[in-house]
Chain A
Amino acid sequence: MTSSARLFRLPRVLCAALALLFAAALVQRVEAQDISGPLAQLTTNKYDDTEAALGALALSGSPAAAGIVSALADGKLVFGGTPPRVFIEGAGGALIDPLTMQPVTDAPAVKPVRVNNRIRRAIDAASGALSLVSPDAVKRREAALAVGRSRDEAALPALDAALAKETDPKVKSAMNLARASILIGKEGITPAERIAAVELVGAEGNQDALAILRSVPESAAPEVKQAAAAAIEGIERNLAIWGMAQNVWYGLSLGSVLLLAAIGLAITFGVMGVINMAHGEMVMLGAYTTFVVQEVIRTSYPGLFDASLLIAIPLAFVFTGLIGVLIERTVIRFLYGRALETLLATWGISLILQQAIRTIFGPTNREVGAPSWMSGTFDVGHLAITFGRLWIIVFALMVFFALLGTLRLTRIGLEMRAVTQNRRMAASMGIRTNWVDAMTFGLGSGIAGMAGVALSQIDNVSPNLGQSYIIDSFLVVVFGGVGNLWGTLVGAMTLGVANKLLEPYAGAVLGKIALLVIVILFIQKRPRGLFALKGRSIEA
């Protein structure tokens, strides 16, 4: 009881303290005070004390407070020694005195000050509020948004004071919005004020606004509730349309993953007719190539980490391509025209590759990191788009068109098509069909390896990685039409979008089942898929 009561009280204390701090800061009368009390509290290794210390630090008006709070946020605030003292950990582990900012000569053994969700929220509120008066407009705007999210009434005086001084229109509107967010739930304001706040928040039109509008208190005047209800209805209608767009986007994103997984198979199975059960393992090898590249970069060239995927793509292509050529030369070339034997042989190869990886790298997942340019999101309207997914779509399309170009425009592409369409005629025209077979299988495998680089960003890098994609890959190629690259593209995107449009209504499990049933019915009707190849080649 006492602990939970304290929990609810503390943020208020903190915010009140912060408000005082800003009021003080704004009139330029900052008085440096003794902060040894809160500093001592930071050494007790208790969350309650840490939270109290944060509040007291803010109240102190000490110029060192901001540095201490940001060090705590970064996990750089440590304590140790007898009696215990607090230090900021600088570059290379050197300890710095938080008051004087001078290096400590007699550094004791230290432990970091522990941080949990509660402390993290307190830090956010503290540092958000601290930067309301920052000289940097971007920071001020972020601070305003943070204060708006925290919706604490105690921050209102500080916000009002900052608003009075603010000149930047963007920051000003963010601050106004934050103020309105707080006012909506506040007791004792006039209905007119509250309606103005409702309208301001309602104009935002996003999910956060919805959450704020729904918190209009029960005691509010009927006209306020009416205004809020109207605003909520408008936003919900608007968001429903955006929701459809978001589902289509998710579908395209899933489609691009399916396309990447299937496109190599479109070559080995679609063009060559080899039922390649080891296709998934080629994807897995590509993912492990990425892991190895990242390991080397981490240990030897940490500065190159952001380029790790770009380096891994050609390496994965070459490595898995070579493995593919090796498999073709040693196993598959003896089995052309014998579908069942090929199926069993490639299934065996897939097991061998899995166990080999398990032996070399262990059965557990391996960590593949995301480079900074693949992290984060941006908004288009109310559509949230993650960079990682966007790049995967771009990459899938690049691979697709590069492959299409290779088949259409290059000599090796021409020879591949010639061998597929009429092997004996091609051979009698002087094409080394054996060599073309090996190259084609290598190309398909190499592309699967490149897909593995991309998939390592969104899935587990484990020996089982390939298994989860093999069924989907066959599904896409068969659905799209065997032997037709455009069919693979359209098939992947159709399945992706259909899956994501079904999912919100049917759930993930039923959605997947429904999709499989639809594909089965479709194949019954059109056994050759969406884009059937016409002519002699399919019979050969």
Chain B
Amino acid sequence: MLNMFTHARRMAGRALVGAAALALAGGGVASAQETIKVGVLHSLSGTMAISETTLKDTVLFMVQEQNAAGGVLGKKLEAVVVDPASNWPLFAEKARELIAKEKVAVVFGCWTSVSRKSVLPVFKELNSILFYPVQYEGEESERNVFYTGAAPNQQAIPAVDYLMENEGVQRWVLAGTDYVYPRTTNKILEAYLKSKGVKAEDIMINYTPFGHSDWQTIVADIKKFGSAGKKTAVVSTINGDANVPFYKELGNQGIKATDIPVVAFSVGEEELAGIDTKPLLGHLAAWNYFQSVDVPENAAFIKKWQAYTKNDKRVTNDPMEATVIGFNMWVKAVEKAGTTDADAVIDALIGVTVPNLSGGFSAMMPNHHITKPVLIGEIKEDGQFDIVEQTPGLIVAEEWSPYLEGSKDLIADWRKPLSCGNFNVKTGKCGGAGQ
């Protein structure tokens, strides 16, 4: 019943678009030719608004900058913003609206993995392009999606390496919120740690529900686990809101970063804005960008961003940088292809290289992921990060983790003639192309 209804509405929508196109063909061709539409698919209300609103502002900012620089292919860009309201099925509906009705050339959007999975079929069916700017669990490579956030080997594994080498950590607590990203990341980390000779009894894995607020028992357990005479660290994939009470409890129970450091993959400048950071001094985060990166490119970007938002305290963060990189890559690919046609741009994107904000360059690889430097930062008193380690070179994403049974034989390469997101090198077969 519901399906019929949406289908009917879709048909009506198509009819309308058709009518509009006819009308345009008659009189408004000029205006249609002048702009290229860019879709923005980020939640502006509901629980994810806290994180995604910033990314919407980032795309609008980039569009304004690009237009000031003359637009793309001689045309102005026009941002079309929709609000999927942290509602996963609504993401798919809004994606369809952007592509089919608004005829956008590209979409920047999604934050959670479940929202990305929800829009995937729409992008495949209508053959459009999605830029996804958030670190995620990997195990995916799709023809229509370009992943500008980190795969696990571009964030989690370097962070663990840092703790092993520099802090001499031998015992590990893998603490996360109970959903797909922490579970997959922890599975990869567990396999990785074991491959490095860490024994099973030196790994403690703990999951908590979304928004968990009473951390007394778990923090006490961590303290107990840490008193086995070996240096212990916590690798945290705890998501969003649950972090504040977690860090408060760490402070309350007197766990300092010099005793048991916590390295987090979901805590950035924005999240720290709501916490008194004094008790967190020295705890760590691993990202591919920090606001405190001390290079002229970043300083210039922050200055322009704060001027655009008219707020000289507005922070920048890693997913913002990933959005900026994705946007610049798309512009470059469109100019290379000379058209906004999806097939041409998808082919042109591979190999495109643009400057990132940490003073280097990021390239789009054939697996639709980008190369990134990995930075480790310690939390400072002012809520910013002091960068204590930076990988010397760029790291190529391993979209299929070599540490997981199901994915270690898979590779993704979207160049012709392979054009496959999950090619099994053992069987020589492509498991998913053309699906």
The judgment on whether A and B are partners is yes
A116 near B218 with CB under 8 A, answer no
A211 near B213 with CB under 8 A, answer no
Q: How far is the CA of A370 from the CA of B276 in the complex (A)?
A: 9
* Cross-interface CB contact of B258 among A124, A208, A389, cutoff 8 Å: A124
Q: Does A193 contact B (CB under 8 A)?
A: no
Q: Known: A364-B274, A460-B274. Is A504-B386 also a contact (CB below 8 A)?
A: no
* Cross-interface CB contact of B273 among A47, A364, A500, cutoff 8 Å: A364
Which of B61-69, B249-257, B319-327, B331-339 sits within the interface? B249-257
Q: Does B248 contact A (CB under 8 A)?
A: yes
Q: Does B49 contact A (CB under 8 A)?
A: yes
* Cross-interface CB contact of A509 among B166, B207, B213, B257, cutoff 8 Å: B207
Q: Does B224 contact A (CB under 8 A)?
A: yes
Contacts A208-B227, A509-B178 known; 10 new A-B pairs at CB < 8 A: A118-B166, A207-B223, A214-B229, A250-B214, A358-B49, A365-B275, A459-B245, A464-B241, A468-B211, A509-B207
Q: Known: A246-B220, A389-B252, A508-B218. Is A460-B227 also a contact (CB below 8 A)?
A: no
| Interface residues in chain A, defined as those with a beta carbon under 8 Å from any beta carbon in chain B | 4, 7, 47, 75, 114, 116-118, 120-121, 124, 207-208, 210-212, 214-215, 246-247, 250, 253-254, 257, 355, 358, 363-367, 369-370, 375-377, 384, 386, 388-389, 457-462, 464, 468, 499-500, 503-504, 507-509, 512
Q: How far is the CA of A468 from the CA of B240 in the complex (A)?
A: 14
Chain B neighbourhood of A215, CB < 8 A: 229
Q: Does B270 contact A (CB under 8 A)?
A: yes
Chain A neighbourhood of B258, CB < 8 A: 117, 120-121, 124
Q: How far is the CA of A121 from the CA of B258 in the complex (A)?
A: 6
CB interface residues, B 253-288, toward A, < 8 Å: 253-254, 257-258, 261, 270-271, 273-276, 281-282
B282 near A117 with CB under 8 A, answer yes
Chain B neighbourhood of A468, CB < 8 A: 211, 213
A464 near B253 with CB under 8 A, answer no
Q: Mark B211-229, 1 if CB is under 8 A from A, else 0.
A: 1111011101101100111
Closest CB of chain B to A121's CB: distance in Å? Answer: 5
**Would you mind naming 23 contact pairs between A and B with Cβ atoms under 8 Å apart?**
A117-B282, A207-B224, A208-B227, A215-B229, A247-B217, A250-B220, A253-B216, A254-B214, A364-B273, A364-B274, A365-B241, A367-B273, A369-B276, A375-B251, A457-B248, A458-B213, A462-B50, A464-B241, A500-B216, A503-B217, A508-B212, A509-B207, A512-B209
Q: Does B381 contact A (CB under 8 A)?
A: yes
Chain B neighbourhood of A247, CB < 8 A: 217
Q: Does B306 contact A (CB under 8 A)?
A: no
Q: Mark B33-53, 1 if CB is under 8 A from A, else 0.
A: 000000000000101011001
* Cross-interface CB contact of B214 among A210, A257, A364, A507, cutoff 8 Å: A257
Closest CB of chain B to A47's CB: distance in Å? Answer: 7
Q: How far is the CA of A268 from the CA of B252 in the complex (A)?
A: 34
Chain A neighbourhood of B221, CB < 8 A: 504
Chain A neighbourhood of B165, CB < 8 A: 4
Q: Taking chain A's interface residues, is the majority helix, strand, or loop, or is none over half, making it mixed?
A: helix
Shortest 9 CB-CB distances between A and B: which pairs? Answer: A365-B274, A214-B229, A211-B227, A215-B229, A207-B227, A250-B216, A386-B252, A508-B208, A460-B244
A507 near B166 with CB under 8 A, answer no
Chain A neighbourhood of B50, CB < 8 A: 363-365, 462
B244 near A377 with CB under 8 A, answer no
Chain B neighbourhood of A124, CB < 8 A: 258
* Cross-interface CB contact of B49 among A363, A365, A376, A500, cutoff 8 Å: A363
B209 near A462 with CB under 8 A, answer no
Q: How far is the CA of A117 from the CA of B405 in the complex (A)?
A: 36
A377 near B386 with CB under 8 A, answer no
Q: How far is the CA of A462 from the CA of B48 in the complex (A)?
A: 12
Closest CB of chain A to B182's CB: distance in Å? Answer: 12
Q: Does B206 contact A (CB under 8 A)?
A: yes
Chain B neighbourhood of A509, CB < 8 A: 178, 207-209
Most buried by A among B218, B270, B274, B276: B274
Closest CB of chain A to B178's CB: distance in Å? Answer: 5
A386 near B253 with CB under 8 A, answer yes
Q: Does B4 contact A (CB under 8 A)?
A: no
* Cross-interface CB contact of A117 among B211, B261, B271, cutoff 8 Å: B261
Q: How far is the CA of A366 from the CA of B272 in the complex (A)?
A: 10
Q: How far is the CA of A514 from the CA of B251 in the complex (A)?
A: 29
- A-B contacts at CB below 8 angstroms, number: 125
Closest CB of chain A to B299's CB: distance in Å? Answer: 15
Q: How large, as a class, is the contact surface on chain B?
A: 35 or more
Chain B neighbourhood of A370, CB < 8 A: 276
Chain A neighbourhood of B1, CB < 8 A: none
Q: Does B167 contact A (CB under 8 A)?
A: yes
B229 near A508 with CB under 8 A, answer no
* Cross-interface CB contact of A500 among B213, B217, B381, cutoff 8 Å: B217
A377 near B254 with CB under 8 A, answer yes
Q: Does B2 contact A (CB under 8 A)?
A: no
A462 near B241 with CB under 8 A, answer yes
Chain A neighbourhood of B224, CB < 8 A: 207
B270 near A367 with CB under 8 A, answer no
Chain A neighbourhood of B270, CB < 8 A: 364
Q: Does B399 contact A (CB under 8 A)?
A: no
B378 near A117 with CB under 8 A, answer yes
Q: Does B388 contact A (CB under 8 A)?
A: yes
* Cross-interface CB contact of A464 among B47, B166, B207, B212, cutoff 8 Å: B47
Q: How far is the CA of A232 from the CA of B342 in the complex (A)?
A: 67
Chain B neighbourhood of A377, CB < 8 A: 252-254
Closest B residue to A124 using CB positions:
B258
Q: Known: A121-B258, A366-B274, A377-B253. Is A459-B244 also a contact (CB below 8 A)?
A: yes
Closest CB of chain A to B241's CB: distance in Å? Answer: 5
Closest A residue to B276 using CB positions:
A369
Chain B neighbourhood of A114, CB < 8 A: 386
Chain B neighbourhood of A355, CB < 8 A: 45
Chain B neighbourhood of A512, CB < 8 A: 209
Closest B residue to A149 using CB positions:
B259
Closest A residue to B226 using CB positions:
A211
Most buried by A among B209, B227, B388: B227
Q: How far is the CA of A189 from the CA of B206 in the complex (A)?
A: 41
Q: How far is the CA of A504 from the CA of B254 in the complex (A)?
A: 21
Q: How far is the CA of A4 from the CA of B169 in the complex (A)?
A: 13
Closest CB of chain B to A505's CB: distance in Å? Answer: 11
Closest CB of chain A to B261's CB: distance in Å? Answer: 6
Closest B residue to A384 using CB positions:
B253
Chain B neighbourhood of A211, CB < 8 A: 227-229
Closest B residue to A468 using CB positions:
B211
Q: How far is the CA of A90 from the CA of B276 in the complex (A)?
A: 24
Q: How far is the CA of A389 from the CA of B220 in the complex (A)?
A: 14
Closest CB of chain B to A125's CB: distance in Å? Answer: 10
Chain B neighbourhood of A504, CB < 8 A: 217, 221
Closest CB of chain B to A284's CB: distance in Å? Answer: 13
* Cross-interface CB contact of B207 among A7, A369, A507, cutoff 8 Å: A507
Q: How far is the CA of A60 from the CA of B249 in the complex (A)?
A: 41
Chain B neighbourhood of A212, CB < 8 A: 229
Chain B neighbourhood of A460, CB < 8 A: 241, 244-245, 274
Closest CB of chain B to A275's CB: distance in Å? Answer: 23
B217 near A250 with CB under 8 A, answer yes
B381 near A117 with CB under 8 A, answer no
Closest CB of chain A to B275's CB: distance in Å? Answer: 6
Closest CB of chain A to B262's CB: distance in Å? Answer: 11
Q: How far is the CA of A386 from the CA of B214 in the complex (A)?
A: 13
Most buried by B among A355, A377, A468: A468
Closest CB of chain B to A165's CB: distance in Å? Answer: 29
Most buried by A among B214, B221, B245, B274: B214
Chain A neighbourhood of B386, CB < 8 A: 114, 116
A367 near B274 with CB under 8 A, answer yes
A116 near B214 with CB under 8 A, answer no
Q: How far is the CA of A250 from the CA of B253 in the complex (A)?
A: 12
Closest CB of chain B to A515's CB: distance in Å? Answer: 12
Chain A neighbourhood of B252, CB < 8 A: 375, 377, 386, 388-389
Closest CB of chain A to B245's CB: distance in Å? Answer: 6
Closest CB of chain B to A93's CB: distance in Å? Answer: 16
